[in-house]
Structure 1
Amino acid sequence: MNINWNGVFPAISTQFNNDGSINYESNARMLEQLINDGIDGIIALGTIGENLSLTPQEKRDFIKHTVDTVKGRIIVLSGCAENTAQAAAQYAKDIQDSGVDGLMLLPAMVYRGCAKETLTHYQTVARATKLPIMIYNNPVTYGVDIDIEMTAVLAKESNIVAIKESTTDTRRLTELQSRFGDRFTLLCGVDDIALESILLGATGWISGLTNVFPQESVALMKLARSGRLKEARELYRWFMPLLRLDTIPKLVQAIKLAEQIVGRGSENVRAPRLILEGEERTYVENTIKHALATRIDLSKFNLN
């Protein structure tokens, strides 16, 4: 199964109105901005997209709206996060003809399965759909590590084609390449090791802060992939305090607040999440304020 999931992929937020309903107009506007800023694709309904805060019908409506808005201009992947393998498989079946390009599949939510149970979850979904699938391996957040031996089992499923590597251990990228060669497309899923991951062979970057600073994200990817490391390090040093926001427990609220500050969206979230207050809010506001005050002129890199 040939895919080209390379480049910068913002994990977009799901925008809400003040009453908690989905603000489709805001999401469409956000998508247009991101496309104009040169990103390569997006992940809808991931962690930043508050997947588990949406009803089953809202998820299906949202991904249809996203595909209809994008109109094939960039790659659209949908997060698939459900409590059971059956529910995840049903979601995959329901959207496979929507025009979406693939799935980012998470382990079963709530219940943390053992290795055999986790493999069964992924196999069940893969065999239920014709869509290409990206493994989302994030043991830090979801408590399940899809290790090298488990990956070897999943490599037998022809439509499991990519891995979003989020263990925070960059050695895993080398281990995956040593074992599987180019069998999987590898994407970095942790913002504050993005440059390291690209240099170690990740060809894609799934990012939260890319929603807020997409042009800088695209520039970092281009500089790193073209071997312009001195310039990449300069941009990365500026970016690092921002990228840290993607690694804190309240990353969704932090990124949505950042989107609001720069005029790209609203910080509205669904309970049990609440908007940031006090020191947490001040920290995000000060981080964004400093970044804007010290923003690098990207034209100096001559990337066109």
Structure 2
Amino acid sequence: MKIDWQGVFPAVTTQFKEDLSIDVKDTQRVVDDLIRDGVTGIIAMGTCGENNSLEADEKRTLLSAIVEVVNRRVPVVVGVSEMTTPRAAAFAADAEKIGADGLMLLPAMVYVPKPEELVAHFTQVAGATRLPIMLYNNPTSYRVNIGTDVLEALKPIRNIVAVKESAADTRRFTDLFNAFGDRFTLFAGLDDVAFEGLLLGAQGWVSGLTSAFPQESVMLVKALKAGDIALARDIYRWFLPLLHLDAEHDLVQSIKLAEQIMGRGSERVRMPRLPLSGARRAEVTAMVEQAAATRPSLKMTKAA
């Protein structure tokens, strides 16, 4: 499937059974529900999918299951997050064989590379596949910034086509556009600056909280695309307290708890993460329940 790099691509969660083995069927259900709610793409095994908590064979099994349930209704973009470049290249090649439509490629984990090492990593992985690639820039979480010097060096690599920008500084969107024009399609990657990123030229949104509130996420992006800034701003103001969770250290636990409260998934996570507890759990629960009681989609349904 040729990817139309625009719209809402939720970073879907991986569902686990009580023994913390992968619940393939429930993960498929979560993905299917999101597609039915109108998302335009699926990000499998990103941060929210707990990529680095999965074994190599589990990643391939899970990707196969997600490709199967999606059944070409929307593009499937899979996270490539490995400790070494050869492992990342091997997974990229396998993902293409399994049926993924694109890759979301991260720097190699743990080691903080110099720019030339970052270029070499991305180049080698891109060379292992024909799939289109979205680079994932998240300097806060991964201590690596994909600077304009790196992107300039990668311009000749035609299957590197997009950048998921998760820096909190929204000036990056304008700086990247000014430097590269439309060479790289930009995606907003940090939920609590998604509105700003989309206004500044991002064509799509890779979102965590969409897993709990997909209808509002789709409404927000559609309103912006239609030029209805007032409606988009109202949705964003309602959404922002929850979207801040995506920028916190415990984002995965918070998003999965939100999913559970909304009846969409389970809060189970693999160690070293643990489910939220105590005051933090109560805080996030109250936020989600407040949002659920005031969600814009309910108001529009009643008005209709």
Name which of structure 1's ranges 149-158 and 48-57 shifts more when overlaid on structure 2: 149-158
Give, in whole Å, the separation in 2 of the partners of 1:14 and 1:188. 22
1:257 match: secondary structure = helix
Give, in whole Å, the separation in 1 of the partners of 2:290 and 2:86. 46
- 1:29 maps to 29
- 1:244 maps to 244
Give, in whole Å, the separation in 1 of the partners of 2:144 and 2:91. 21
Query: Structure 1: which 5+ runs fail to align?
Result: none
Alignment of 1:101-120 (within 5 A): 101-120=101-120
- Indicate conservation of the 8 Å contact 1:133/1:160, yes or no: yes
Deviations 1:196-224 (A, max 9, x none): 11111101000000000000000000111
2:98 match: secondary structure = coil
- 1:286 maps to 286
1:97 match: secondary structure = helix
Query: Structure 2: which 5+ runs fail to align?
Result: none
Alignment of 1:86-165 (within 5 A): 86-165=86-165
- Structure 1 residue 297 displacement after superposition: 3.8
Q: Which letter maps to 1:121?
A: H
Cα distance 1:297–1:61, how it changes in 2: closer, same or farther (>3 A)? closer
1:113 match: secondary structure = coil
- Structure 1 residue 245 displacement after superposition: 1.0
Give, in whole Å, the separation in 1 of the partners of 2:115 and 2:92. 22
1:253 match: secondary structure = helix
Give, in whole Å, the separation in 1 of the partners of 2:216 and 2:39. 10
- Indicate conservation of the 8 Å contact 2:215/2:297, yes or no: no
- 2:175 maps to 175
Give, in whole Å, the separation in 1 of the partners of 2:48 and 2:205. 15
- Structure 1 residue 149 displacement after superposition: 1.3
Any runs of at least 4 consecutive aligned residues in structure 1 with deviations exceeding 4 A, and if so which? none
So what's the TM-score if we normalise by structure 1?
0.97
The answer to whether 1:215 aligns with 2:223 is no
- Structure 1 residue 299 displacement after superposition: 6.5
* Residues paired across the two proteins, number: 303
Give, in whole Å, the separation in 1 of the partners of 2:97 and 2:54. 21
- Indicate conservation of the 8 Å contact 1:199/1:225, yes or no: no
Give, in whole Å, the separation in 2 of the partners of 1:199 and 1:193. 10
Question: What is the aligned-residue RMSD (CA, Å)?
Answer: 1.7
Give, in whole Å, the separation in 1 of the partners of 2:168 and 2:298. 28
Name which of structure 1's ranges 23-32 and 7-16 shifts more when overlaid on structure 2: 23-32
Alignment of 1:41-56 (within 5 A): 41-56=41-56
Q: What percentage of aligned pairs have identical amino acids?
A: 52
Name which of structure 1's ranges 96-105 and 203-212 shifts more when overlaid on structure 2: 96-105
2:97 match: secondary structure = coil
Q: Which letter maps to 2:36?
A: N
Give, in whole Å, the separation in 2 of the partners of 1:15 and 1:153. 38
Q: Which letter maps to 1:119?
A: V
- Indicate conservation of the 8 Å contact 2:190/2:247, yes or no: yes
Deviations 1:82-124 (A, max 9, x none): 0111100010111212221110000000111111111111011
- Indicate conservation of the 8 Å contact 2:3/2:101, yes or no: no
- Structure 1 residue 26 displacement after superposition: 0.8
Give, in whole Å, the separation in 1 of the partners of 2:296 and 2:7. 21
Deviations 1:273-296 (A, max 9, x none): 111111110111010011112222
- Indicate conservation of the 8 Å contact 1:216/1:298, yes or no: no
2:296 match: secondary structure = coil
